[in-house]
Amino acid sequence: MLKKLLILAVVSGILAAVACLVYQKVYTESLGDGFKNIVSLQKIFAACIGANIVAAIGYFLLSKVLKGHTEAVFNILYAVITIATIVYPIGYKLPLDVEMPELFPGLAIPMHFFPVLGWMTLKPLFAKNI
């Protein structure tokens, strides 16, 4: 079961990272700054895949404790934790040479939701018997 969850985590993390890159490109073209020196390709992939690997391990551990209600409890926890992480881009201290720093949260906050969306999208399709 853990192996399937980790595969799901990597695949949904890659999906989330691609969604983040598309969003960053659209954001850059519409507002002129994608903060690519701060939100780099490597950081996006590491954050999305890393978040979903942690989620997979959390799901596995939660399934050992809660036999029947794992899915519902996990989805609520993952969503609440994701919402709590939006505090980070709001309080992030940008370098002083960055133009239009007020646009940074508009880029980073939606990206925080892509890993959980990728997980919840692929979980029913990818791992029905988990």
d(CA 46, CA 53) in angstroms, rounded, equals 10
Give per-residue pLDDT as tens, 73-111: 999 999 999 999 999 988 888 877 778 888 888 889 999
Confidence (pLDDT) at 54: 96
For residues 26-43, average pLDDT: 86
Contacts of 123 (CB under 8 A, 6+ apart): 8, 12, 130
On the question of pLDDT at 129 being above 80, the answer is: no
Q: Please tell me which residue, 116 or 130, carries the higher pLDDT value.
A: 116
